[in-house]
Every structure is written in C-alpha cells, then in structure tokens.
C-alpha cells in the first residue's frame, strides 16, 4: 500500500510514499517550484484491494485543496 505522485504528461512516477501526508508534502514541494496542479496526479495503490475499490486519482484544483497548498503556490491551470 502506497501513495504515488505522477507526472501526467510523461506518465512518470515522481514519488512513492508510505503515507498520504508524505505524498502531499511532495505535491506541495512541486507546486512551489515549476509544476502546475494539472500536471500532477496523486494515486493511492493497494495491491490487496480490487482496482474498483480504490479512491479516484486527484489532479488539478482537487489535488491543491487536498494538499492544503496556498494560493501563492498555485499556477493557473490552462
């Protein structure tokens, strides 16, 4: 079971962490640099659960809200 942060355009895994808090920290760090919210995706992966029982991936504004990122860290999505 882990939390993964992905780069959507390239399909590259950026980070895999054991907790959501750690993954959201990675998201906040990326948003504070050159990343836009719509370029990132947060995914929960648990091999012991069927895929249809996993929560949906987060990206864009929902990801920013979940990460608790400040408006100053956000870049416009578009």
pLDDT tens, position by position, 60-77: 999 999 998 754 444 444
Would you give the DSSP letter of residue 18? S
* pLDDT value, residue 72: 46
Predicted TM-score of the model (pTM): 0.83
Exposure string for 16-27, b = 16+ CB within 10 A, e = fewer: eeeeeeebbebb
* pLDDT value, residue 40: 97
Angle, CA of 72, 60 and 26, to the nearest 5°: 65
Of 69 and 28, more confident: 28
Q: 43 pairs with which residues across the strands?
A: 4
With a pLDDT cut of 90, the percent of the chain lying above it is: 77
Query: Sign of dihedral through CA atoms 77, 10, 54, 2?
Result: negative
Residue 11, C-beta contacts closer than 8 angstroms, at least 6 positions apart: none
Of 40 and 70, more confident: 40
Please provide the average confidence, as pLDDT, over all residues in the chain: 89
């Amino acid at each position: 079971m882990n939390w993964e942060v992905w780069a959507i355009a390239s399909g590259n895994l950026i980070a895999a962490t054991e907790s959501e808090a750690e993954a959201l920290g990675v998201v906040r760090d990326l948003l504070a640099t050159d990343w836009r919210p719509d370029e990132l995706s947060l995914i929960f992966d648990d091999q012991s659960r069927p895929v249809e029982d996993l929560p949906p991936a987060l990206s864009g504004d929902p990801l920013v809200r979940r990460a608790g990122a400040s408006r100053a860290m956000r870049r416009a999505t578009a």
